[in-house]
Amino acid sequence: MTNYGEYLRSIRQQRGLTLREVEAQAGVSNAYLSQLENGKVKQPSPSNLYKLAELYNVTYEDLMERVGYPVPKAAQEPRPEKPMAHNRLGKLSSDEEEELIDYLSFIRNRKKR
């Protein structure tokens, strides 16, 4: 594979999934997925890469590395299947995930004062 887009397309096709099926199962829009697969997204969202890694059953670190994000050594160590918070919250939409991240940042900043 010459780029991450071809890799993502290849995995999706190996799994027998259409863009719309991935959208429904991972919560990532099919338009965005198409742009990813065609290499039109310069820096894909880590949260979307996480969702795709889960659906495609590949490691999140592998996708992050293929896209060009630095992967710390600690990320390469074995870890539980899913973080506890993820298990308790269930599946979130992209908007809900972003809102949750913003709220957590707000809480952290408030505690620093």
Task: Give the tens place of pLDDT for each residue, 1-50.
Answer: 448 999 999 999 999 999 999 999 999 999 999 999 998 998 899 999 99
CATH number of 1-79: 1.10.260.40
Distances (CA, A) of 35 to 6, 9, 30, 57, 107: 11, 11, 9, 21, 34
Among the listed residues 97, 93, 98, the one whose alpha carbon sits nearest the alpha carbon of residue 24: 93
Spatial CB neighbours of 91, under 8 Å, sequence gap ≥ 6: 27
Alpha carbon 87 to chain centroid, angstroms = 16
Global pTM exceeds 0.85: no
Segment 50-95, tens digit of pLDDT: 999 999 999 998 899 998 888 776 544 545 555 556 556 677 777 7
What residue spans define the domains of the chain? 1-79, 81-113
